[in-house]
A and B are shown apart, each in its own frame.
Chain A
């Protein structure tokens, strides 16, 4: 069985599944129960400045009947007295020495305030500190959370205040509410961060109720933006994670990254690991289904690693990163075409309509007799036998640009494959082309001449 144990910037845990700083880690009783279910660690719900929470706090997104595809919240940091939190943190750590207990903190941008809370956290025996520079709602208006994370100078300064006074590993949790995630990451490293974590929640307005016309969640008839999380944000989190992991400064620093944002199953977790995460945090999935989900996280990841021959998490972490490139580094000579497996095709014709209406018009319909036909029906026909005479979609390969829309809309697994074919075009990247033949990238006339020379036909 694969070894799932983690040593993340010196923080040890039996597995990489940690509860993120959020409502699931609000109290000692909760984290105790979570650890009983098998979570490898927990980041205590952010402690710090005195706050008052309001009612209600969550907006949910339902898509196609699937509830909580995303959630947004207007919840603030812990509203329980600081002393209570600190006492419970110490109790939990004493009871669970093998689990990672990390404390998320957020205070005013003041070195004294930071020093004070860091000392209190150290006294609990916790394994690490996470600096919450992320929350986009509520705290940012008070100059904390995302207000720090969005300004690199503030990020560096605040981080420095903490790292200069503590012996604990310091994780800086980044906000995705920036245009360039690298800037705050560099700032955190410059401030001495031992690790990074991302993503925090994304600014959002969840929805408007069509019956009441109220913006949801409605707090006494008023609403505000909230932090967006859950399965729907995973691609954004994966992007930011891979951006960090491909950044030379971050790589050189060697700091590990704790990935989070939409991890709902072990499969999502494995994707975060493959793109460079060394540990993981989970919140929305636990809020949706409870702590019990961790059992399949551990079991599924372990089985998958066994199947793939990965012995430790280090074998997995970053394994898919070498594929990441920029657009300018992609091979313009590469050609794929869509191929539809007629035996698997159920003739829903979604590929046909998608290609015909919105892509490159290269799928035709052929009757069982092999005749090219148009969509349509005879008003006098009826009965299930019409399904037998139904036309099958076929890709006209010379006209297929390989956009893969059809493969994406096809409801049948493995029915439409994107097949690599010889293009007859020179293998060259845009960056190479720009460097060797700048005129091609500057003038349409030169571009057309190049296309003719390279045998590139545009449909």
Chain B
């Protein structure tokens, strides 16, 4: 089943306004004027997409907001999403020279200010180049796919973007809570690639090698931005009653009513298993639905993978944390969850990840009473990767420096190639750019076949 352009859901669904308000014009001007306009700036170097941050901030300070937005979007087509979801403390703001002895510039919020200006006014920043006669299929409309599509369309290639879900945007649309990024922001980015002439076909799924062969027969190149797989199984009794953290987040964005009735309905006491950013997001959704939320993690706060600012955000939202605790079973009575059976842990010697290995404390079993258990313990490697007949590396799609897979005309980027972890939207965007550059170079080097 194919659908045309994605439909914007009812506005009433948004009970999650962005946690940070937009900067006012005065705030933005004052903040922009605080920027030193460093030369060879470390913020620019720290940004995986290398947005010319000093330039875009300078343009805010001079009142050239259209120019500012353009500087951002030229380097990062998903500048509006990245302004909201980037771990700026680890990237641009973490490298800001003003952070050395006082407050770094609020680069993320300034970026949001400039890109909002572009989108709110419907400014068309880019025009596609004259058609090259070449075509590219992009599979997956998450950040990597959108980024690759945009760069290729700007170069004049005919791009078709395939998305298996109803709405485009992938992780930005379905996987980031509205407190951080409202769904309109990612949908506007989908719309922006459509404005560049990219055909977005939703409800179409690539499932096997045969499908890839079809794409290769119809297009000059294929870019795979497949993302990751499902949440892995916990392997504990009663697991079938556990909700998937990603599904909860997804429902909170596009169909919040599903958190009220049916299989995803949230109760009044929620326990979230895991301590990554997704787990925090799921717990936050629970809190905003009025439930008590507790997170259980088998190690301590020193080992948790969530960013420090996300952890603090969760504490601020009233999420409770129970560390050194491992779930061993879900208590279910009459089809309803009544508690999570756990065992206390202690930290042992370091394991392969370099983190202390948690070990159960004998005889320490206890039950956390609750009516909802949500698991957010990471995502599995992309299952599809194995079925496409491409060379893999540790379960992810193997690519070279130009993001080409083991197949000459097939490229990949985003989480599905992230062998060494530390996935992020902004790195997926950069993958899309690098892959588009490789694809363009390859297409430019070979003559256009006569019809």
A347 touches B97 (CB 8 A): yes
Q: Is A52 an interface residue (CB 8 A)?
A: no
B36 touches A386 (CB 8 A): no
Identify the stretch in B42-50, B211-219, B308-316, B362-370 within 8 Å (CB) of chain A at 4 or more residues: B42-50
Known contacts A382-B47, A386-B46; A65/B39 CB under 8 A: no
Which residues of chain A have C-beta atoms less than 8 A from B44's C-beta? 377
Q: Is A398 an interface residue (CB 8 A)?
A: no
Chain A residue at minimum C-beta to C-beta distance from B422: A383
A383 touches B61 (CB 8 A): no
Chain A residue at minimum C-beta to C-beta distance from B48: A382
Which residues of chain A have C-beta atoms less than 8 A from B33's C-beta? 64-65
A376 CA / B37 CA spacing, docked (Å): 16
Identify the stretch in A17-25, A33-41, A349-357 within 8 Å (CB) of chain B at 4 or more residues: A349-357
Which residues of chain A have C-beta atoms less than 8 A from B427's C-beta? 382
Binary flags per residue of A371-407, CB closer than 8 Å to B gives 1, else 0: 0000111010111101100100000000000000000
Q: Give the residues from 337 to 379 in chain A that come closer than 8 angstroms, CB to CB, to chain B.
A: 346-350, 352-353, 365, 375-377, 379
Q: Is B236 an interface residue (CB 8 A)?
A: no
A390 touches B42 (CB 8 A): yes
Known contacts A64-B61, A346-B98, A346-B100; A383/B46 CB under 8 A: yes
Known contacts A383-B46, A384-B46; A349/B38 CB under 8 A: yes
Known contacts A64-B33, A64-B61, A379-B50; A386/B95 CB under 8 A: yes
Which residues of chain B have C-beta atoms less than 8 A from A375's C-beta? 39-40
B46 touches A387 (CB 8 A): yes
Chain A residue at minimum C-beta to C-beta distance from B426: A382
B91 touches A350 (CB 8 A): no
Which residues of chain B have C-beta atoms less than 8 A from A346's C-beta? 97-98, 100-101
B50 touches A384 (CB 8 A): no
Q: Is A309 an interface residue (CB 8 A)?
A: no
Which residues of chain A have C-beta atoms less than 8 A from B42's C-beta? 347, 386-387, 390
Nearest CB in chain A: distance from B196 CB, A? 23
A376 touches B46 (CB 8 A): no
The winner among B29, B47, B61, B95 for most chain A CB atoms within 10 A is B95
Which residues of chain B have C-beta atoms less than 8 A from A349's C-beta? 38-41
B45 touches A350 (CB 8 A): no
A349 CA / B43 CA spacing, docked (Å): 13
Q: Is B30 an interface residue (CB 8 A)?
A: yes
B91 touches A383 (CB 8 A): yes
Q: Is B90 an interface residue (CB 8 A)?
A: yes
Q: Is B276 an interface residue (CB 8 A)?
A: no
Q: Give the residues from 61 to 77 in chain B that come closer than 8 angstroms, CB to CB, to chain A.
A: 61
User: Which secondary structure dominates chain B's binding surface?
Assistant: helix
B39 touches A353 (CB 8 A): yes
The winner among B46, B94, B434 for most chain A CB atoms within 10 A is B46
Q: Is A50 an interface residue (CB 8 A)?
A: no
B39 touches A377 (CB 8 A): no
Contact among A350, A379, A384 with B38 in the assembled complex (CB-CB below 8 Å): A350
Q: Is A411 an interface residue (CB 8 A)?
A: yes
Contact among A64, A350, A387 with B95 in the assembled complex (CB-CB below 8 Å): A387
What is the size category of the interface that chain B forms with chain A?
20 to 34
Which residues of chain A have C-beta atoms less than 8 A from B30's C-beta? 65
Which residues of chain A have C-beta atoms less than 8 A from B47's C-beta? 382
Q: Give the residues from 39 to 78 in chain A that come closer than 8 angstroms, CB to CB, to chain B.
A: 64-65
A387 touches B94 (CB 8 A): yes
Which residues of chain B have C-beta atoms less than 8 A from A352's C-beta? 39-40
A255 CA / B40 CA spacing, docked (Å): 55
Which residues of chain A have C-beta atoms less than 8 A from B94's C-beta? 383-384, 387
A347 CA / B47 CA spacing, docked (Å): 17
A65 CA / B434 CA spacing, docked (Å): 39
Which residues of chain A have C-beta atoms less than 8 A from B61's C-beta? 64-65
A382 CA / B95 CA spacing, docked (Å): 10
Q: Give the residues from 3 to 43 in chain B that come closer than 8 angstroms, CB to CB, to chain A.
A: 29-30, 33, 36-42
A443 CA / B91 CA spacing, docked (Å): 59
Nearest CB in chain A: distance from B355 CB, A? 20
B97 touches A348 (CB 8 A): yes
Binary flags per residue of B299-324, CB closer than 8 Å to A gives 1, else 0: 00000000000000000000000000
A405 CA / B60 CA spacing, docked (Å): 26
A377 touches B50 (CB 8 A): yes
Nearest CB in chain B: distance from A407 CB, A? 15
Chain A residue at minimum C-beta to C-beta distance from B30: A65
A444 CA / B225 CA spacing, docked (Å): 69
A379 CA / B42 CA spacing, docked (Å): 13
Known contacts A377-B50, A386-B46; A350/B37 CB under 8 A: yes
Chain A residue at minimum C-beta to C-beta distance from B49: A382
A27 CA / B45 CA spacing, docked (Å): 59
A383 touches B90 (CB 8 A): yes
Which residues of chain A have C-beta atoms less than 8 A from B46's C-beta? 382-384, 386-387
B90 touches A350 (CB 8 A): no
Which residues of chain B have C-beta atoms less than 8 A from A347's C-beta? 38, 42, 97
A377 CA / B100 CA spacing, docked (Å): 21
Which residues of chain A have C-beta atoms less than 8 A from B36's C-beta? 348, 350, 411
Which residues of chain B have C-beta atoms less than 8 A from A348's C-beta? 36, 38-39, 41, 97
Which residues of chain A have C-beta atoms less than 8 A from B430's C-beta? 382
A411 CA / B96 CA spacing, docked (Å): 14
Nearest CB in chain A: distance from B59 CB, A? 14
Which residues of chain A have C-beta atoms less than 8 A from B48's C-beta? 382-383
Q: Give the residues from 65 to 119 in chain A that come closer than 8 angstroms, CB to CB, to chain B.
A: 65
The winner among B44, B90, B97, B427 for most chain A CB atoms within 10 A is B97
Which residues of chain A have C-beta atoms less than 8 A from B89's C-beta? 384
Chain A residue at minimum C-beta to C-beta distance from B31: A65
Binary flags per residue of B400-429, CB closer than 8 Å to A gives 1, else 0: 000000000000000000000000001100
Chain A residue at minimum C-beta to C-beta distance from B89: A384
A350 touches B39 (CB 8 A): yes
Chain B residue at minimum C-beta to C-beta distance from A410: B36
Which residues of chain B have C-beta atoms less than 8 A from A65's C-beta? 29-30, 33, 61
Which residues of chain B have C-beta atoms less than 8 A from A411's C-beta? 36
A387 CA / B98 CA spacing, docked (Å): 12
Chain B residue at minimum C-beta to C-beta distance from A347: B97
B45 touches A381 (CB 8 A): yes
Binary flags per residue of B81-118, CB closer than 8 Å to A gives 1, else 0: 00000000111001101101100000000000000000
A382 CA / B422 CA spacing, docked (Å): 12
Chain A residue at minimum C-beta to C-beta distance from B90: A384
A376 CA / B44 CA spacing, docked (Å): 10
A397 CA / B152 CA spacing, docked (Å): 49
A349 CA / B29 CA spacing, docked (Å): 23
Binary flags per residue of B208-239, CB closer than 8 Å to A gives 1, else 0: 00000000000000000000000000000000
The winner among A348, A352, A386 for most chain B CB atoms within 10 A is A348
A64 CA / B61 CA spacing, docked (Å): 7
Known contacts A64-B61, A65-B30, A347-B97; A386/B38 CB under 8 A: no
Nearest CB in chain B: distance from A191 CB, A? 48
Nearest CB in chain A: distance from B46 CB, A? 5
Contact among B38, B40, B97, B434 with A376 in the assembled complex (CB-CB below 8 Å): B40
Chain B residue at minimum C-beta to C-beta distance from A353: B39
Which residues of chain A have C-beta atoms less than 8 A from B41's C-beta? 348-349
Q: Give the residues from 178 to 231 in chain A that come closer than 8 angstroms, CB to CB, to chain B.
A: none
Binary flags per residue of A313-353, CB closer than 8 Å to B gives 1, else 0: 00000000000000000000000000000000011111011
A386 touches B45 (CB 8 A): yes
Give 16 pairs: A residue, B residue, CB < 8 Å, sorted on A.
A65-B33, A346-B98, A348-B36, A349-B39, A376-B40, A379-B50, A381-B45, A382-B46, A382-B48, A382-B50, A382-B426, A383-B48, A383-B91, A384-B90, A387-B94, A390-B42
Q: A352-B40, A384-B91 are in contact. List 10 more A-B contacts (CB 8 A).
A: A64-B61, A349-B39, A365-B40, A375-B39, A376-B40, A377-B44, A377-B45, A383-B90, A384-B89, A387-B95
For the complex of A and B, list the 9 residue pairs with the smallest distance between their C-beta atoms, beginning with the closest.
A384-B94, A382-B48, A375-B40, A353-B39, A349-B39, A387-B95, A346-B97, A348-B38, A377-B45
Interface set of B (CB-CB < 8 Å, partner A): 29-30, 33, 36-42, 44-48, 50, 61, 89-91, 94-95, 97-98, 100-101, 426-427, 430, 434
